[in-house]
Amino acid sequence: MSGVFERKRWRRAAFSASTFLALCSAAPAAIAFESTAVTSPRATVTLISDAAAVAPGQTFRVGLRQKLAPHWHTYWKNSGDAGSPPEIRLSVPEGATAGEIIWPGPDRFAAGPAMNYGYETEIVFPITVTVPRDATPGQPFNVSADADWLVCERECIPESGSFRLDIPVAAAPTPASDDVRAAFAIADARRPVPSPWSARLVSEGDAFALTVVGAGLTEAAVKSAYFYPASWGITDHAAPQQPSITDGTLTLALSKGQTFNPEAKADGLLALTDGGGATRWFEINPSVHAAPAGNAPTASLIESLPLWQTALFAFLGGLILNLMPCVFPVLAIKATAIAKLSGGELREVRRAGTYYTLGVLVAFTVLAAALLVVRAGGTAVGWGFQFQSPLFVAGMSWLLLAIGLNLSGVFEIGLGVTGTGYSLTQKSGHAGSFFTGLLAVVLATPCTAPFMGVAIGTALAAPVVICLLIFLAMGLGLAAPYALLSVFPALARALPRPGPWMLRLRQAMAFPMYASAAWLVWVLSQQVGDFGVLVALSGALLVALAAWIYGMAQHGTGRGLIPRTLAAAAIVGTFGLLLQLDGAPTSAASTQAGVASANYEPFTSARLASLRKEGKPVFVNMTAAWCITCLVNERTTLSTDAVQQAFRAAGITYLKGDWTNRNPEIGAYLRSFNRDGLPFYAYYPAGGRDPVVLPPVLTESIVVGELERAGRSALASPQSIK
């Protein structure tokens, strides 16, 4: 009898060993790997693994699998107006790691006036697990979980359970059975993917809109759309979301939720359903642009101008930009370029104008592309953003110094960088015309002219092609005065004949270049303080040294390898100085707008909202050290006794925002008005009325007149009658 018992025990041991060895081998046939189920009339819940055997160092997935009874549902991480998401507390062996739940894209479930987010029928909540590299084949890899979940139909029932998986460790992994892999496929089909489009939430009164821009967003491809906020209360979940699609732009009209905060993140999922009924979920992290103090600007923030009107505004803005103070440095280059047209042949005059226009258009195209690329990367920037970089400001100051030294005759550039000093009949001068156009755009970007603000804001929210067209229209406006000389060469022939006056003009035009370089050094001091000035002046010294050595070599003295090596070393030294500015601490001077003065307070969205809530009138000035028009307006208008007295008489609080360095709060404020550049001025009348945007070029009469009109309007308003 004992012999029979021993043979049976041996056969059971052999069977168990062979089974375990089969699991440890790379068997081609998949086997199931699912825990014991926790079952109720509403749901059957298990813990599953997509691997029946794992290898050392392998990454695999486990997941809480829920099979729900008809009409019952469970919840997403933001459950909506009611409900609660599942909670999974996973335990893995020492040395192993486990990630967070990879939440599948949800569906919507209306329950009377409430809207909930979750899943019906069957869903898996996957979690990624990594096996330690020193795991021993032949040993089990134990995964256990305690979970709580809520299932609802007309009533909600909380449920919970404990689960365990003992997964063999083998030399090679083994996949789970088809049934388990099909369960994970349900979650994979709903797995959100990163959005390929740019997105922003624009606040407008009590409502706001999600705007998504990019290729493929057409009426034919998108039949319905819905935004699922990742956190509760950002939107009113039960409010309808009205989509509209035009020219690659999808707009969803939303309603604010109870916890909406214009300064908080508003990430979530955008669910798009195509004509065949298939839905895909895209992860989006839109920037939030809230209308200050809960009041929308006079113009709608969501609706955009027609393309022809936007292009016209862009052209007019570029044309007026020629007269803005920040373009004055370019006038020196233009003056010398126009002077060389004197006596030029018709063909060469037209070519010079064409090359200059081409340079302007290329610069605007590159600038638009740079703005779009930076925006696509999730960084909010605006017109003139490059001047917020101390490296760019320092490098530009040295470039202007080099141009000034060239105009002064210290050295010559064979390709005619500025185009001066060469007869227009020389083909090499056209490179100078092209470069002049490029530099004109770079120096013009610190300021925005009338019409430009709306055009730029609209362009950056439009599809790429439309954006580029609007920027090109702006470039044509900037280039128009000079380009007219190529269309009507008789204007150029009206200039005096070539003579010594051209040389004197060229030398005189060097001083605006020196003045511009000095101004940029001051801007650098506002950004990074005295250290920036030291770097800028040291670099200026190296640039002057290189120009002097190069000029001597051109004039027949100082020829040879050593002088040229010294000149090259001086230029290389300037690049080394630029690296010193990378990461330099912000200067205390750059935060001077953050300190209240006798005339103004520092701008913050919270302060503005508080003043508006109290019904007080507010004047907002957005400025920067690199915006010459801003500085001119402050000196000639906003700081005058007449304007300051008008502010005091009307009880106006003057808020001043400094955008010299990057400031996301100021950037969001500007974009709430569909603006992306400076200067910018907004006046908020008393009583919570809508703000009025003032023109970028101010006078005392403009400001005082607007205050008087607002005062008369307040007296005529029924709200003023007690």
- DSSP at 498: S
CB within 8 A of 624, min separation 6: which ones?
384, 387, 388, 446, 630, 658, 659, 660, 678
Domains of the chain are 18-191 (2.60.40.1250), 194-290 (2.60.40), 307-581 (no CATH), 593-720 (3.40.30.10)
Residue with tokens 């309603």: 255
- In one-letter notation, the amino acid at residue 483 is A
Token digits for 197?
């489009």
Using left for φ > 0, alpha for ψ between -120 and 50, and beta otherwise, residue 409 falls in left
Q: How far is CA 131 from CA 126, 545, 566, in A?
A: 16, 63, 60
Please tell me the distance from the alpha carbon of residue 87 to that of residue 150, in angstroms, as a whole number. Answer: 10
**H/E element, 298:** none
Strand order in the sheet with 59-68: 38-39, 43-49, 59-68, 122-130, 97-101
In this structure, are residues 218 and 236 in contact, taking their beta carbons and an 8 Å threshold?
A: no
Query: Residue 594's pLDDT is what?
Result: 46
At residue 3, what is the residue type? G
Q: Average pLDDT by consecutive 10-residue portion of the chain (722 residues)?
A: 46 47 42 88 96 94 96 93 91 94 94 86 96 93 95 90 95 92 93 88 71 83 91 84 80 81 79 89 79 38 56 79 62 60 63 82 82 58 65 82 82 46 39 75 62 59 74 85 70 61 73 82 83 87 88 70 79 82 61 55 86 89 82 87 91 90 78 75 84 85 85 50 30
- Contact (Cβ atoms closer than 8 angstroms) between residue 673 and residue 662: no
What number of CA atoms fall less than 13 Å from residue 551's CA on the CB side? Answer: 15
**pLDDT at res. 304:** 46
Number of Cβ within 10 Å of residue 634's Cβ equals 18
Structure tokens at 298: 């006079």
- Do 687 and 612 touch, CB atoms closer than 8 A? no
Backbone angles phi, psi at 49, to 5 degrees: -130, 140
- CA-based angle 669:674:675, to the nearest 5? 70
| Alpha carbons 77 and 105: distance in angstroms, whole number | 10
Give me the numbers of helices (H) and strands (E) for the chain, helices first please: 19, 27
Tokens of 559: 């020829």
Question: What is the model's pLDDT at position 580?
Answer: 79
Q: Return the percent helix, strand and coil in the chain, to nearest 5.
A: 45, 25, 35
Identify whether the C-beta of residue 262 lies closer than 8 Å to the C-beta of residue 252: no
Q: What would the two tokens of residue 436 be?
A: 């002049």
CA-nearest of 464, 446, 365 to 676 is 446
Q: What is the 3-state secondary structure (H, E, C) of 120-140?
A: ECEEEEEEEEECCCCCCCCCE
Q: What residues have CB less than 8 Å from 390, skipping those under 6 apart? A: 524, 527, 528, 532, 581, 584
pTM for the predicted model, two decimal places = 0.44
Which residues, at least 6 apart from 319, have a Cβ–Cβ distance to it below 8 Å? 477, 478, 480, 481
Q: What is the pLDDT of residue 306?
A: 64
**Which residue in 233, 214, 276 sits closest to 115, CA to CA?**
233
Instruction: Using alpha carbons, list the distances in angstroms from residue 349 to 292, 344, 650.
Output: 51, 6, 56
Q: At what angle do helices 452-461 and 346-376 cross, to 10 degrees?
A: 60
Residue whose tokens read 């999730």: 378
Name the residue among 632, 575, 91, 6 with its Cα closest to residue 327.
Answer: 632
pLDDT value, residue 346: 62
CA count, 13 A, side-chain hemisphere, 29 = 2
Three-state DSSP class for 274? coil
CA atoms within 13 A on the CB side of 586: 14
Is residue 141 a contact partner of residue 174, using CB atoms and an 8 Å limit? no
Q: Is 140 exposed, middle or buried (0-12, 13-18, 19+ CB in 10 A)?
A: middle
